[in-house]
Amino acid sequence: MSKRCRICGVELTEENWFPSSRRKKDYICKKCSYKKNKPRTYKWRKKNYQKWREYQNKWNREHKDRKREWNRRHHLTTKGGKSIYGLNKRPYPKDGCCELCGRKVTTMDYHHWDDNHLDMGMWLCKQCHRFAEVVEQNGEQILRKYKQLKQNIEREWLKE
């Protein structure tokens, strides 16, 4: 016989199973556990706000690297300042080197080129990211203009 949630009746699996603290054989799913405990948690936070903030600050200090890595993998801020969560971006390079030029830098930007697939992208240093943005917007025109300007300057220089 399979186990079912005592509140909503959904069949319990390894992913959604949550043991109730009242009785060992009394199971509830994670979704119902959240709904059941949410009001109680908010009341406690409101009543003990200072204590809760101290706990949050302590946790943030102790888990700074973990939090940073989570944000790198699952958070994206667009040019317009819009924040998008729930992504699964490529891992941040362990060696800290730009994937385009290979420079070792302290911070890198995540460059994506398809708004429908934000997970698809690469980790670039600031200079390479600016270059990639320009190439994405009007790449062929810029490259043609660059080559033409380069040829003009070489001709002028050779004339002298």
Half-sphere exposure of 131 (CA within 13 A, CB side): 9
Encoded tokens for 108: 């890198």
Q: Does residue 56 lie in a domain region?
A: no
Residue 84, domain extent: 63-159
Looking at the fold, whether 94 and 42 belong to one and the same domain comes out as no
Looking at the fold, whether 69 and 44 belong to one and the same domain comes out as no
Decide: helix, strand or coil at residue 141.
Answer: helix
> Is residue 83 within 8 Å of residue 76, measured between CB atoms?
yes
Q: Does residue 41 lie in a domain region?
A: yes
Q: Does residue 4 lie in a domain region?
A: no
Looking at the fold, whether 132 and 105 belong to one and the same domain comes out as yes
Task: Count up the domains in the chain and report the number.
Answer: 2
Distance separating the N- and C-terminal Cα atoms of the chain: 92
Looking at the fold, whether 110 and 33 belong to one and the same domain comes out as no
Q: Does residue 58 lie in a domain region?
A: no
Looking at the fold, whether 81 and 37 belong to one and the same domain comes out as no
Q: What is the pLDDT along the chain (160 residues), one digit of tens a residue?
A: 477 777 777 787 766 665 555 454 567 777 777 666 666 777 888 889 999 899 999 998 999 888 888 888 888 877 777 788 878 888 888 888 998 888 899 888 888 888 788 888 889 999 989 888 888 887 778 778 888 888 888 888 877 6
Task: Return the amino acid letter for 34.
Answer: Y
Looking at the fold, whether 68 and 144 belong to one and the same domain comes out as yes
